[in-house]
Copies of this chain bind each other. A is one copy, B any other.
Amino acid sequence: MAVDLLGGDDAPAVVVDGALRAVRTDPDLHLLLVGPEEVAGGLIDALEPAQRARISVRPVRHAVGMGDHPVAARAHSTVRAAVTAVRDGLADALVSAGATGATVTAAALGLGRWAGVRRPALVATLPAVAGPVVLLDVGGSLEPRAATLARHAVLGAAYSAVAHGVAAPRVGLLSVGTEAGKGDRLRRAADPALAAVPLPCGSRYVGLVEGYDVALGARADVVVTDGFTGNVLLKAIEGAYAMAGGPPDSGGAPRAAALLGVCGTVVVCHGAARPDDVASGIALAAHLWRRGATDLISGLLDGIPQDPAPSNEVKP
């Protein structure tokens, strides 16, 4: 598991702390620390000797003068190095709390995308009364076309079944009301597109759903929306849990999201991640890798119509 030591607002301290927790919690976890050697060394020193054997280091050499750049600029080179480590088989998966756009771009370019997927999706899972609710996209593609939302519906359904074991997931399209025709132009175009696309794993399209359904899960197991709306929604739910005095017992808003559509297991943590968030991001990546989620989900896409021609969508 490659960990980007310089990704995140409070890197490297928070990443080091989160990685320590992950190594101590999961005895089968091996970490490849990607970043400055002195940071990696500090982390290794904090571990028991037996645990140290599960840590490798991939020092990142910066371009001349790069040491003068702020952490955010240097982090771009660590996430690229972490992507390269996964591509070269030195690591099975990658976790970064760096800038979402930089991580998505580095992963798409370095690992390649699945056949038929033009826009990878960031997928977050919220705990709901009825079970996990998969929300996508939460920031990968801010201005998708209807065809991209239909493709994301397929990805989300497969993810719900493979990553969470949900049988026959219900897929909904987020809008301002449940009656057909409710919503803006994108939603009115996407509703028939989602109704028409063949969905995997026995899942079915249930039509338009509303904001409540993201937190409560009463009407859908998979909620499809554009990355702008998904991102602000996820953070609003996090803020609401903080206002209500803490998240529900079943767990709060997720602060790690899986990137679906690239050839590799990639997890993006919240930029303002705390150590627990980094540790849970590492645990999510390990869970997905152990389930073979990337291969299973990309395999489920075979035989489902591909994304149409390129568009003028804005990159994240």
Known contacts A184-B314, A233-B233, A212 near B239 by CB under 8 Å = yes
Instruction: Using A176-B139, A229-B229 as known contacts, say yes or no to A235 and B211 having CB atoms under 8 A apart.
Output: yes
From 207 to 232 in chain A, residues with beta carbon under 8 angstroms from any chain B beta carbon are: 210-216, 225, 227-229, 231-232
Give the chain B neighbours of A231 by CB distance below 8 A: 176, 211
Task: Please tell me how many copies of the chain the complex holds.
Answer: 2
A278 at interface by CB-CB < 8 Å: no
Interface residue? A180 (CB, 8 A): no
Assess whether A109 is interfacial by the CB under 8 Å rule.
no
C-alpha spacing A245/B241, complex, angstroms: 10
Are A243 and B176 touching (Cβ within 8 A)?
A: no
Q: Which of A183, A235, A240, A253 has the most CB of B within 10 A?
A: A240
Contact B314 A232 (CB under 8 A): no
A39 at the interface (CB under 8 A from B): no
Do B239 and A214 touch across chains, with their CB atoms under 8 A apart? yes
Query: Closest CB-CB distance, A96 to chain B, in whole Å?
Result: 16
Taking CB atoms, residues of chain B closer than 8 Å to A184 are 142-143, 228, 314
Contacts of A234 in B (CB 8 A): 211
Q: List 25 A-B contacts (CB under 8 A).
A: A128-B243, A129-B243, A139-B176, A142-B176, A143-B184, A174-B232, A175-B232, A211-B231, A211-B232, A211-B238, A213-B239, A214-B236, A214-B239, A215-B236, A215-B242, A232-B233, A233-B236, A236-B237, A236-B240, A237-B239, A237-B240, A240-B244, A240-B253, A243-B248, A244-B245
